[in-house]
């Protein structure tokens, strides 16, 4: 667009120098305008069209020798000469380039020798200025293109840097979270292994002392031992609840689910499991239940089905969690004894799944589906507090 404005100004200057008062000059103006627009279009195409642009400009320049009135239009034509690309595979390309770009000197020299006047000098000066103007415009366009390329590269590097930084921050946060969860699990284990056993021994000693006091008729000592037993039992209950809370806080739902899927998939190299987990966090009881259901379901697929793949899908809804384990089938049929054994084992596994899900007030549906087998489990959210409290008290 900027080059078109420049060439329009040069054309207006040519019109001022010599107003087209004859047909040949008017034809030259129209020809130069058409050629200039065509060259401008060719410059935006691939380099394979550059030869056409060179040929058009050289033809017009050489036509200025027999048609002297066209010389006034040379500045418009010469403006495009420095802007044309050169094919480097041509032999002596740099030398030929400068010869071709300076070919506009021939008509000026011809008319300067045959009919020298002030007009030829003015046209020559304007043509030189036009050539320098076109060269400067070409260099500016190249610099602008290179600047855009550098800016694009800088933006790409910035995006890559931000992405790498975000991934690093995510990995660091995950590492900190895993370290925190592992530390909570370790603390819970230490409390259970040390404090729990000491409290259990204290309760047993207090109960033994109360039994001895009752046998000897020492009511005061029996009353004190009973109070000590109650206090130690209450402390044991609080420790047990704290241990359960720490263990639950130390449960990573996603890691536990991935471990359950990986444990079955790694045991059978020819068996592929696809996991789709939309749940990032859930109570420890739900994590343990889903992990057990996944292991049991995938084990059933490996033992009782001829499928080479299975899918595990976990979704979270406002009121419940959903687990679907499905294989495409078909079922494997061996001898009758093997079928009976498989059915018995499948029945025990499905009963275990049903009991674990019902303990969380959920529902489990297991059966044939779309040529294969599907285990469909739902666990409500609003019942988890009650279920967890009941489990902790045990």
Concatenate the DSSP letters of all residues of 107-144 into one string.
HHHHHHHHS--HHHHHHHHHHHHHHHHHHHHHHHHHHH
pLDDT the model gives residue 315: 92
pLDDT grade for 312, boundaries at 50, 70 and 90: very high
**Neighbour count for residue 345 (Cβ, 10 Å):** 14
- Taking residues 296-301, what's their average pLDDT? 87
Q: For the ranges 189-193, 324-328, 357-361, which has the lowest average pLDDT?
A: 189-193
* Percent residues over pLDDT 70 in the chain: 80
pLDDT the model gives residue 323: 93
Of 26, 36, 110, which is closest to residue 69 (Cα–Cα)? 26
Calculate the average pLDDT of the chain.
Answer: 77
Q: 101 or 92, which is more confident?
A: 101
- Rounded CA separation 6/8 (Å): 5
Helix (H, G, I), strand (E, B) or coil at 314: strand
pLDDT tens figures, 250-292: 567 888 888 888 877 666 677 888 899 888 778 888 888 998 9
- Rounded CA separation 16/14 (Å): 5
Q: For residues 353 and 375, is the Cβ–Cβ distance under 8 A?
A: yes
pLDDT tens figures, 50-90: 677 777 877 888 887 777 777 777 887 887 777 776 655 45
Adjacency order of strands within the sheet including 320-327: 272-277, 309-316, 320-327, 372-380, 363-369
pLDDT the model gives residue 379: 92
Q: Which two tokens stand for residue 255?
A: 């890691």
- Rounded CA separation 298/289 (Å): 14
The answer to whether residue 383 scores a pLDDT higher than 70 is: no
pLDDT the model gives residue 314: 93
Q: Report the run of H or E that residue 12 belongs to, with start and end.
A: helix 2-17
pLDDT grade for 337, boundaries at 50, 70 and 90: very low
Contacts 24+ apart (CB under 8 A), 86-89: 86/50, 87/47, 87/50, 87/51
């Amino acid at each position: 667009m900027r080059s078109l404005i420049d060439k329009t100004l040069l054309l207006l200057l040519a019109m001022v120098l010599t107003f087209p008062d004859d047909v040949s000059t008017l034809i030259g103006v129209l020809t130069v305008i058409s050629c200039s627009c065509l060259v401008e279009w060719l410059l935006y195409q691939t380099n394979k069209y550059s030869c056409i642009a060179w040929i058009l400009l050289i033809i017009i320049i050489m036509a200025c020798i027999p048609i002297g009135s066209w010389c006034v239009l040379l500045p418009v034509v010469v403006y495009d000469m420095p802007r044309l690309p050169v094919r480097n595979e041509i032999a002596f390309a740099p030398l030929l380039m400068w010869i071709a770009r300076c070919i506009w000197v021939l008509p000026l020299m011809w008319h300067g020798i045959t009919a020298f006047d002030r007009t030829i000098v003015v046209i020559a000066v304007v043509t030189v200025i036009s050539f320098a103007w076109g060269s400067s415009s070409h260099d500016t366009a190249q610099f602008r293109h290179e600047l855009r390329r550098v800016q694009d590269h800088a933006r790409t590097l910035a995006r890559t840097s931000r992405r790498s930084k975000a991934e690093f921050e995510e990995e660091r946060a995950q590492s900190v979270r895993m370290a925190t969860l592992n530390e909570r699990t370790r603390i819970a284990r230490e409390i259970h292994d040390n404090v729990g056993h000491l409290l259990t021994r204290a309760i047993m000693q207090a109960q033994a002392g109360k039994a001895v006091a009752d046998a000897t008729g020492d009511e005061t000592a029996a009353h004190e031992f009973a109070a000590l037993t109650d206090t130690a039992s209450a402390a044991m209950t609080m420790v047990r609840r704290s241990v359960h809370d720490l263990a639950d806080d130390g449960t990573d739902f996603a890691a536990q689910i991935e471990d359950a899927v990986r444990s079955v998939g790694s045991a059978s190299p020819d068996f592929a499991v696809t996991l789709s987990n939309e749940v990032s966090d859930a109570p420890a009881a739900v994590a343990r239940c889903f992990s057990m259901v996944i292991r049991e379901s995938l084990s059933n697929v490996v033992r009782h089905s001829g499928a080479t793949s299975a899918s595990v899908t976990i979704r979270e809804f406002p009121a419940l969690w959903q687990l679907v384990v499905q294989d495409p089938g078909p079922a494997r049929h061996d001898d009758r004894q093997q079928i009976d054994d498989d059915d018995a084992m499948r029945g025990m596994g499905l009963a275990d799944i049903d009991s674990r899900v019902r303990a969380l007030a959920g529902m489990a549906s297991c059966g044939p589906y779309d040529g294969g087998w599907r285990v469909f489990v739902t666990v409500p959210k609003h019942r988890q507090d009650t279920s967890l409290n009941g489990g902790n008290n045990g």
